[in-house]
Structure formats: C-alpha cells, structure tokens
Structure 1
Amino acid sequence: MKTFKNITGWLHLWLGLAAGIILIIVALTGSLLTFEDELEPLIFHKTQVVKVSGTRIPVDSLVQIANSVFPDKKLSRLIIPQEAERSVEARIGAKGEKGIKVVYIDPYTGKVLGKGPYDKQFFQQVRSLHRYLLMGKQGKIVTGISCAICLFLVISGLIIWWPANKAAMKQRFKIKWNASGKRLTWDLHAVSGFYMSIVLLFITFTGFVWSYDWVEDMLFKVIDGKVEKAEKVKNKEKTKVVNDGVYQLMYNEINTIYPYNGSVAFAMPAKPALATTVQKEPEESRIRQVDAAFFDSHTGGLIKKLPYSEVSTGTKVRRMILPIHTGSLLGWPTKLLYLLVSLFTASLPITGMLIWLGKRKKTKKKTKKSPRVAVA
C-alpha cells in the first residue's frame, strides 16, 4: 500500500508540474466564461445594449441588413434575444467555414452597432484559449491530454490526502491558518482540494465531451443506443422564389407555437432545398430546454414541430453538459461555487510547486549535514 501511494504521489507531482501552466490557463478562462452572459452587456455595452424606442423593425429587414454588411457571404444564424434592450446578433458565413463574421444590429433603428470576425470577439477568444489554447486542432489535443491529467490529479490527490491512521484524520478536514508557511501551503493544496474534488470531477468529466468526439458518441450510444445525427428537413414547396416577409412569418409562428418569453434563433439552411430551423429557449432555462420548429425557407410555412419534450434522452443529457460544465445549472449559487473552484484550481499548480520546492530544499539540507566517512 505504501509503495502504491508513493508511486501515485510521484505521478501526481510530475504530471501536475507538466500540465500546471495549461491548467492555470484553462481554469482562469473557465471562470470568465461562467459569467459570459452577465459580463458581455457590461463590457461591450455599445454593441450589446440598445435603447427601447417604438416598434421593432421586421425580421426580414434585419436579415437584409445583415447580408448587406458582408455581401460576399450569406447569413447563417440570426439570434433575437428575449430582452427588449438587447441587440440582435447575426453570424455571416456557413458553420465550419473560415472567416465567419458577426454583425450586431439595433432592432429598432436597423443601425449596425458593430461588426467583425466572429472568432476575434473577446469571449470567442477566451473560449478558443480555454478549449484550444489559440492553437486550433493542435491545441485541442493538448487541452484534451491536460483534461485527462486533471482527472488523474483529482483522483490521485484524494489517494495522497487519505490519512494513514485515525489520529491524522482530524487535521485532513480543516486548514490550520496559524501554522507555519509549509504546513499552511500543504493544507491549502490538500485540504481545499478534498472539498473541491467533487466539483472538479464534474467539470473534468464534462470537459471530455469537447476534448474527444468519441466521448460524445459514446454518450449517445449508451443512452439512446445510437449516435445522434443532425436532422435535415426538406422544404415542402419546390419553388425557388423567397416570399416577402417570410422570416417575420416564421418568427410570429414560433411565438404562437411556444407562447412564452424567450430568445429566438434562426439557423439558415446550407442548401436552398432545406428548411429553416427556428429555435426558442426560455430565459430561465438552465438545462438548455430548447423548443424548435422547421419552416419552408421559401414560403415560411410550418413543416414540423420539435418541442423539447420530444427530443431523445441523449439529446437532453447532451444539452445539460454545458450548464454542468460552466456551473450555470442552478443559477448564481453554482456559478459562484464554480468561480471559487476555478480560482482554487488555478492555485493548485502554484501551491503544488511550493510543496515540491520545500521538500527539495529539505532534502538538500539533509544531504549537506550527512557526516563524511573517513577513509582508512
């Protein structure tokens, strides 16, 4: 048992030192992303917040404005927030395509409040740093490995923390604030780690979904028995002429089908023959309770409803992954808890290194004090 614990401690030390900087970056960026919804309108007030004045312009006008800003690309997504004072977000360029643009529009005046590359927006940069270290696919590999290391560090940390006897049990549950620097550092690292470990496990396990595609596929296979595929619904009408007011018609219809206050998002079809997907989500939804409907992209006629209650269990679980990962699942209480855990996680590599340096210094002192054996 002692040998196992020693090996575990050795791996915990060196893997922690190897992945330390990456864990700090991921933890700090994660704490920012937890409060993205609250921070974005405060930091970027000019592009995110508008003055409520009179009647909102038709959705079709918003589409035309968005398409006119970057005429070489087509609108792929239009997001109309629930809040009356928020701007409309338009994303220009197909999903997965390089050079996607974003435009923020005042829904009352039609004024363009801001525009530019989507991936250069502040929180997109933070998200890219969090998931890919700003290095694309190569960065995803590194953060994926770091995620696996983090899982091992949490489990191995619990093994190292586990007291050898009952006498040592009491000191493992509380931090001795009046202790020496070395003891306090150890307590901050080990005792706090014990209390934070459950939340860290949730964050780490859910992080695997973005790190490895096979984890997401396995999730659907275990729950639904098959991998989820994006549904492609075709238009009913064969006409290629787009009717006037088609998007406003869809907007009115989605609010009639799902009569509650919520944000509405239009996903424009990649091909003319495909239907337009319109989603609606209530503001108070913390598990991404998204209701959807498919409309003929030329006439605006309703083709199919897809309420949240009818989506697969795997899809419902998958939509819960993000709220669990970011801490938004139960609102402010879990968000504040996750902020605390994220900041603590960022401190772990630092306190871990201090513990290691302290032990190394102690070992050197012992070596110097060792008596020399006289040679006859």
Structure 2
Amino acid sequence: MKKIFGWLHLWLGIISGLVVLVVAGTGALLVFEEELEHTFRSSFFYVEVPENASRVSLDNITAYVQQEYPGHKIFQMAIEPEADRSIIYVLRKGKVKELKNQLYLAVNPYTGKIIGSQPGNKRFFSVVLHLHRYLCMGETGKVITGISCSIFAILVITGLILWWPKRNNRKQRFRVKWDASFKRLNWDLHAVFGFYTHIILLVIALTGLVWSYKWVNNLIYLAFDGNTKQQKIVAPESIPVENTGIAYLEKILSTTNERLTYEGKITIRFAEVDSLAVSAAKENRSRHDNVSDFLYFQAGTGKLVKERLYDNESAGTIARRWIYPIHTGSFYGFPTKILAFIATLVGFTLPISGFLIWIGRKKKKPVAKAKKKLPLDKHPNPSVQY
C-alpha cells in the first residue's frame, strides 16, 4: 500500500506542484494583507487629526468624489472607528469583475480632499488575490486552482501515510538533522515540516474548496440547515427619494452606530440597481473575524428599512461565515494568523523540496552488482574474509 501511496504522492505532486507553489505563496502574503498594506502604504490609510477636529459631511464628500469621477459609479465606502483613518471608496465602471475597472480612493475626512487613488489592477493585493483564486486566468484559472487544491488535500493525506514511522525509526521522523548532507536535510525539511503543519494545511485546502466548487459550499448548508437553500444577503426593495435636503449618508452612519453599539468598521454599499436599499454592514470586533450585522436604508431619507443581524442567521449561514477566518487563520487574531502564515510558507516549500527529492532519486547511480563469491581455496588471497 505504501508503494501505491508513494506513486500517487509523486505524480500528483508533479502535476499540481507549480500551481500549489503559486497558491501557497500568494496565500502566505494574504494572511497579513491588512497589516502589510497599512505598513507600506500608511499615507493612503492614515491622516493627521487636526486640533478641534470636525469631519466633513459624508454626503458632501461622496458628492465631491462622484463629481471628480463622473465615469465611475460609487460602489462602497468604508469608515473606520479610529479618528486617524481615511475613508476608503471603491468605484466601478463597465464589467465589475475586471480589476482595471475598479478604482480605490482614499479621502481625508477632515478636509474632504482625495489623498490618493489606485486602479484595481495596480493595487498589489488585488492582483495577489486574483492570482491566488484565478491565476489571473479567469474561470479557467479557477478550475485549475480547484483541481490543484483537491490534489493538495490528497497529497497531505498520502504524505502523512508515507511519513508514518516504524517503531525503530520514530526519532528520525520528528526532528530535522541539520548537520546532514543536502539530500538528507532536504528530505527532513519536506517530511518533518510537512508533518508538523499537515493538519493546518489540510484544513486550509479543504476550506479553499468552498470557493472552487458550489457542491462543497452546498454541503455546509446541507449539514447545518438540512437543505442546500442558501439565504443570500440581498438588499430589500426601497425606492429612493430625491431632493430631500437630508444628509442621509450621515444619518445612515449615526443610526448604524446607535443601533449597533460595538466598535467596528462600517461599510456603506450601494446596490447595482437603484430600486434597492442602501446597506450598512458593521464588523463586530469583539467577536471572531467575519462577523457583521447588516442594516438597510432608503436612499435619500436614511430611513431604516430592514435589519439583518448575525445572531439571527441560520446555522448554515453562520457556519459558512466561519469558513473565511478559518481559511485565512484570522479567527482568533494574530496568534492563529502566525500559525497559518508558517503553515502556508511550509506549503510553499513542499513542491520545491519534493521536486528535489524526485530529481535526486532519478540521478542516483545504479548499485554495482555484488561480486560472485569464490571458494576460499580458489581465491587469490584466501586469508581475506569477504
């Protein structure tokens, strides 16, 4: 059986190795997306808070942004609770799935002026995410990453079987022999590090299948709700009212903070169709990642139309919301992110070390045939014991 699993592990690894390398490498970057982006582009996300700080009306800022970019449609704006944070707008035009048609803007909430802008296809982490999910190849890339992700899950399981030590060989399988030859060290890095991270890597691979295959996504709802009917988050119908003179975006912001008193980022999003309500999602930072409550408002008046709270969701929807933080390692903050980062780095090295193991075996010289033993009386030196 080990020979069969070894054959599977080898050839499935060769087939999927390059894709796993790309997906694991980009995944490692995405674990700390927010921290890295805020560090290297701090001027985009942070502003100086003036003395006697007073913020410009959100309605005025939004009107100004729309005036500056008439060819785009404002899709959403994100307002952080911290005083020194900029407001991030996302604008769209044309085919929304194409990165080049998305535009990110940072606006100073105290001056109402645009700090900077960046097209989606030039935003580093937008490209990294597109590469991670689609290999920058659209739906074809999604199919390839889905197959490779499935193969990687099999590789983790077969790798564990191949790693499983015999009774007299256990110590070797749990530690790396750093002073060994390159071949031995490479094998240890592949097998030992693979063992210590195999559970995390398997969980990441299996949760990744949720985005690749609809039937995997449906299994979550079937397991927790008893059916595959998903409760999609869709804004309710609400006819907008024009020329009311009401700063309705400010009203939406204040109402959201009054009804949802915890601290968290508020994302106000406009529907694709004008006849639908404006949504306000607030992240609950007192709980695990990806917990948000939704409120829906009438455009023009800021009248609350509907609320959709996390605790009232179905068990299947709540379980589905857990998938993202489990996949990224963000469900318990920084400690679990570090574990996910280390595991994905190991996952990134596995195709490389595995390939080197395979090449090393191919180049191995055939063992010379043992010399035929001669009777001692006919041997040129009978005293030598062979």
Does TM, normalized by the shorter one, top 0.5? yes
1:82 matched residue in structure 2: 81
For residues 189 and 205 of structure 2, the distance between their equivalents in structure 1, rounded to whole angstroms, comes to 21
State the secondary structure of the residue aligned to 1:262. Answer: coil
After superposition, the C-alpha distances for 1:193-213 in whole angstroms (9 at most, x for unaligned) are 111100001110111112222
For residues 249 and 86 of structure 1, the distance between their equivalents in structure 2, rounded to whole angstroms, comes to 20
State the secondary structure of the residue aligned to 2:117. Answer: strand
CA contact (8 A) 2:230 2:317 kept: no
1:32-43 matches, cutoff 5 A? 32-43=29-40
- 2:140 pairs with 1:138: yes
2:10 matched residue in structure 1: 13
Structure with the greater alpha carbon radius of gyration = 2
**Which moved further from structure 2: 246-255 or 273-282?**
273-282
After superposition, the C-alpha distances for 1:111-133 in whole angstroms (9 at most, x for unaligned) are 11122322431110111111111
State the secondary structure of the residue aligned to 1:292. Answer: strand
1:230 matched residue in structure 2: 233
State the secondary structure of the residue aligned to 1:84. Answer: coil
For residues 77 and 143 of structure 1, the distance between their equivalents in structure 2, rounded to whole angstroms, comes to 29
The structure 2 residue matched to 1:310, chosen from 294, 312, 316, is: 312
CA contact (8 A) 1:82 1:283 kept: no
**Which moved further from structure 2: 216-225 or 41-50?**
216-225
Count how many residue pairs are aligned between Structure 1 and Structure 2. Answer: 365
**Which moved further from structure 2: 142-151 or 226-235?**
226-235
After superposition, the C-alpha distances for 1:66-116 in whole angstroms (9 at most, x for unaligned) are 212321222111111122212111111278454122211111111111223
Kindly report structure 1 stretches of 4+ aligned residues shifted beyond 6 Å. none
2:357 matched residue in structure 1: 355
After TM superposition, give the deviation of residue 346 of structure 1 in Å.
1.2
Superposed CA RMSD in Å reads: 2.1
2:65 matched residue in structure 1: 66
State the secondary structure of the residue aligned to 2:290. Answer: coil
For residues 19 and 97 of structure 1, the distance between their equivalents in structure 2, rounded to whole angstroms, comes to 26
2:117 matched residue in structure 1: 115
**Which moved further from structure 2: 295-304 or 178-187?**
178-187
Query: Which residue identity lines up with residue 261 of structure 1 in the other structure?
Result: E
2:176 matched residue in structure 1: 175
After superposition, the C-alpha distances for 1:136-176 in whole angstroms (9 at most, x for unaligned) are 1111111111101110110110111122x311233222222
Taking structure 1 as reference, are residues 26 and 186 closer, same or farther at Cα in structure 2, changes over 3 Å only?
same
After superposition, the C-alpha distances for 1:293-349 in whole angstroms (9 at most, x for unaligned) are 111113111112222211222222222211111111111111111121111111111
After superposition, the C-alpha distances for 1:240-264 in whole angstroms (9 at most, x for unaligned) are 5454301101111000001122111
- 2:45 pairs with 1:48: yes
1:74-223 matches, cutoff 5 A? 74-93=73-92, 96-98=96-98, 99-163=101-165, 165-223=166-224
For residues 150 and 13 of structure 1, the distance between their equivalents in structure 2, rounded to whole angstroms, comes to 12
CA contact (8 A) 2:264 2:284 kept: yes
For residues 239 and 188 of structure 1, the distance between their equivalents in structure 2, rounded to whole angstroms, comes to 64
For residues 238 and 91 of structure 1, the distance between their equivalents in structure 2, rounded to whole angstroms, comes to 21
Taking structure 1 as reference, are residues 151 and 126 closer, same or farther at Cα in structure 2, changes over 3 Å only?
same
CA contact (8 A) 1:277 1:292 kept: yes
Query: Which residue identity lines up with residue 52 of structure 1 in the other structure?
Result: V
Query: Which residue identity lines up with residue 221 of structure 1 in the other structure?
Result: L
For residues 320 and 243 of structure 1, the distance between their equivalents in structure 2, rounded to whole angstroms, comes to 41
2:271 matched residue in structure 1: 269
1:273-292 matches, cutoff 5 A? 273-292=275-294
CA contact (8 A) 2:289 2:332 kept: no
For residues 322 and 64 of structure 2, the distance between their equivalents in structure 1, rounded to whole angstroms, comes to 34
Query: Which residue identity lines up with residue 197 of structure 1 in the other structure?
Result: H
Query: Which residue identity lines up with residue 10 of structure 1 in the other structure?
Result: W
For residues 85 and 132 of structure 1, the distance between their equivalents in structure 2, rounded to whole angstroms, comes to 35
CA contact (8 A) 2:89 2:106 kept: yes
For residues 72 and 316 of structure 2, the distance between their equivalents in structure 1, rounded to whole angstroms, comes to 34
Taking structure 1 as reference, are residues 119 and 216 closer, same or farther at Cα in structure 2, changes over 3 Å only?
farther
Listed as ranges, the gaps of 5+ residues in structure 2 are 373-386
CA contact (8 A) 2:240 2:299 kept: no
Query: Which residue identity lines up with residue 16 of structure 2 in the other structure?
Result: A
State the secondary structure of the residue aligned to 2:281. Answer: strand
After TM superposition, give the deviation of residue 27 of structure 1 in Å.
1.4
- 2:337 pairs with 1:340: no
Taking structure 1 as reference, are residues 229 and 260 closer, same or farther at Cα in structure 2, changes over 3 Å only?
closer
State the secondary structure of the residue aligned to 1:108. Answer: coil
State the secondary structure of the residue aligned to 1:116. Answer: strand
TM-score with structure 2 setting the length: 0.89
After TM superposition, give the deviation of residue 365 of structure 1 in Å.
3.2
CA contact (8 A) 2:235 2:296 kept: no
**Which moved further from structure 2: 115-124 or 316-325?**
115-124
For residues 55 and 344 of structure 2, the distance between their equivalents in structure 1, rounded to whole angstroms, comes to 40
Query: Which residue identity lines up with residue 187 of structure 1 in the other structure?
Result: D
